[in-house]
Amino acid sequence: MPHRLLARTLAHLQRLIAFDTVSSRSNLALIAYLEETLTAAGLRCLRVPAAEEGKAGLLAFLGPRDRPGLLLSGHTDVVPVEGQRWSSDPFRAVCREGRVFGRGATDMKGFLACMTAVAEAAAGEVLPQPLLLAYSWDEEVGCRGVPLLIEALLEEAAPPLGCLVGEPTGMRVGDAHKGKIGLRCTVRGRESHSGLPHLGANAVFAAAELVAWLAAEARRLATEGRREEGFEPPHTTVNVGTIEGGSALNIVPGHCRFVCEFRTLPGEDPEDHAARLRRQAEEGVLPRLREGAPEATITFETLMVYPGLRADLDDPFARACLELAGGGPVRLSFGTEAGHFARAGMPALVCGPGDIARAHRPDEFVTLDELARCLAFLEGLVRRELR
């Protein structure tokens, strides 16, 4: 049975997909559309500018700000489409066979369209608690926007009773996900002729030692590390994504660079794993590198970091979400902004339409049935007393 708000939701989704909000580009046109839409419905809106030009988030409030309310949240940015083979324009919503295709349809403009339509409809009702909406930016490149959005939210309103982040879960309630830290390591040694390697300091060798340490650490965590069933895999993981260095076969390389990540179980601090890697570089690798080049360095740049999530399922907000979803909680292998909200003291869960397996792929889609189920869930949640 189609939901009464489905047509309105599809109209929003069509507009949202048409905005090319790849993380490297501006999202201001999309924010302006949402701001105009929600203001016309009677919500009070606050634009939250990013530090960099061309980016912003949006907060919207329905009801008094001094009373704790329900927060619905999602990110406005999407991943690139370059190099992907789409059967239609990725920035034009196409509906066929009960599916809406387009970049961001499942991750996560489908949820943004649902929460916007539900908020418009709720503006004419008396709700048991205020309703708050948060639209963030730069989630796809490390959850960069949400800390500033949370700061602005807590300056403007009472801490919410619960925050629902609408990443695609097939409308199952995600109560936990892993944290992450991504690092770029740069090794600088000294170039020399490869026939006279004692006059140089091989940066690729040094980087390879650190990569080998990371590989051993990945094996150690898989076999000896803490485990938590429900995650796939059920332990903290390590990855080296790219590595590059040197300039020619007959030159001892003076530079090398690689990127790596740790995806950590909830309760672990991703920074602790990064600190162990830095200590290995300082104490185990750099002294040997400096034997051939006292000026040698190994430096690290943090590319992204976000906390894991573990929700309290006895919280009234969690009980309401589980009842409305009609099933038990799931643990998520991907990260979300929910960990940031939880760290700020807000009960947070993840639940939204779509499937993460469709995200970031060509011909990404969300189904009409998933959108209808999300609308029914959100309408039930905004009308539920959460205390």
Give residue-wise pLDDT tens across range 9-61: 999 999 999 999 999 999 999 999 999 999 999 999 999 999 989 999 999 99
Q: Which residues pair with 231 in a beta bridge?
A: 229
Check pLDDT > 70 for residue 275: yes
The distance from CA 105 to its chain's CA centroid, rounded to whole angstroms, is 16
Residue spans of beta strands (DSSP E) within 255-356? 255-264, 297-306, 309-310, 330-332, 348-350
The contacts found for 16-21 with CB under 8 angstroms, 24 or more apart, are 16/104, 16/109, 16/112, 16/113, 17/91, 17/92, 17/93, 17/100, 17/102, 17/103, 17/104, 17/105, 17/109, 18/91, 18/92, 18/93, 19/91, 20/91, 21/76, 21/77, 21/78, 21/104
Give me the pLDDT at residue 380, please: 97
Inter-helix orientation angle 6-18/368-382, to 10°: 110
Q: How do residues 157-209 score in pLDDT, each as one tens digit?
A: 999 999 999 999 999 999 999 999 999 999 999 999 999 999 999 999 999 99
List b or e across 55-78, with b for residues whose CB sees 16 or more CB atoms inside 10 angstroms: bbbbbbbbbeeeebbbbbbbbbbb
| pLDDT tens, position by position, 58-73 | 999 999 999 999 999 9
Pick one of 3.40.50.9100, 3.30.70.360, 3.40.1000.10, 3.40.190.10 as the CATH number of 179-306. Answer: 3.30.70.360
| Contact in structure between 384 and 320 (CB atoms under 8 Å) | yes
Angle between helices 203-223 and 270-280 (to 10 degrees): 140
Model confidence at 1: pLDDT above 70: no
Sign of CA dihedral 61, 67, 72, 76: positive
Residue 239 has pLDDT above 90, yes or no: yes
pTM of the entire structure? 0.93
Using DSSP's 3-state secondary structure scheme, residue 65 falls into: coil
Mean pLDDT of the residues in the chain: 97
Cβ contact 9:109 at 8 Å: no
pLDDT tens digit sequence for 86-139: 999 999 999 999 999 999 999 999 999 999 999 999 998 999 999 999 999 999
Q: How far is CA 103 from CA 74, 81, 156, in A?
A: 15, 8, 32
Rg (C-alpha) for the chain, rounded Å, is 23
- Write the CATH number of the domain with boundaries 6-177+308-382: 3.40.630.10
* Rounded CA separation 336/242 (Å): 23
Q: Encode 332-369: b = buried (16+ Cβ within 10 Å), e = exposed.
A: bebbbbbbbbbbbebbbbbbbbbbbebbbeebbbbbbe
34 Cβ contact list (under 8 Å, min separation 6): 58, 60, 112, 116, 135
- Percent of the chain at pLDDT above 90? 97
Return the active site residues: 77, 139
Grade residue 387 by pLDDT with cuts at 50, 70 and 90: confident
Q: What are the structural domain ranges in the chain?
A: 6-177+308-382, 179-306
Q: What is the pLDDT of residues 288-303, one digit of tens each?
A: 999 999 999 999 999 9
Q: Where are the beta strands (DSSP E) in 278-383?
A: 297-306, 309-310, 330-332, 348-350, 365-367
